[in-house]
Amino acid sequence: MTSAVQTGTPWLRHVPGAFTRALLLALLAFVIFGPLLNLLLWAFAEKWYFPSKLPLEYGFTFWRRVFAPRGNAIGSLGTSVWIALLTVVFSLAVAIPAGHEERCRCAGGRHSRSKLPAEMKRCERASGE
């Protein structure tokens, strides 16, 4: 007897064999965490020459340069946060009316109230006008 609620990753359920699933999951983990680990390694490497597999020296010398008063890291961080906030506000300004519009359309509304040209064309095709 099967449970009504299925757990797990839906795309992974269609892959036959436990070994193949484990291999795909390991590959996915490597694709996600591999670059992050490489970035962490490079963040603290002081000396790293070609034949060496790992850095010869680790340290914080470059981080001291970044956060020095002449490095202007705090100003750059402020600019990045400001751009991120503007991006979120703009995305919400587009997404909330679009989601409300879709909800109204599903409730029986016929015409699009948004002014986006692609949305109006899609609505005209759907209504047959």
> What's the pTM?
0.49
pLDDT at 72: 85
The torsion region of residue 72 among left (phi > 0), alpha (psi -120 to 50) and beta comes to left
Residues 90, 59 within the same domain: no
Q: Do 122 and 101 fall into the same domain? A: yes
Please indicate, yes or no, if residue 7 is contained in any of the structural domains: no
Backbone φ, ψ for residue 96 (5° rounding): -65, -50
**Tokens at 97, concatenated:** 């009316």
Closest CA to 97 of 117, 116, 73, 78: 116
pLDDT one-digit tens code per residue, 46-87: 999 999 999 999 999 999 988 888 888 888 999 999 999 999
Q: Please count the structural domains in the chain.
A: 2
Q: What is the mean predicted confidence (pLDDT) over 6-35? A: 81
In terms of DSSP H, where are the helices of 1-129? 10-13, 18-43, 61-66, 73-106, 117-127
- Percentage above 90 pLDDT, the chain: 40
Tell whether 79 and 59 lie within a shared domain: no
Residue 40 domain boundaries: 13-71
pLDDT at 122: 60
Residue 2 lies in a domain: no
CA pair distance 122, 102, nearest whole angstrom:
12
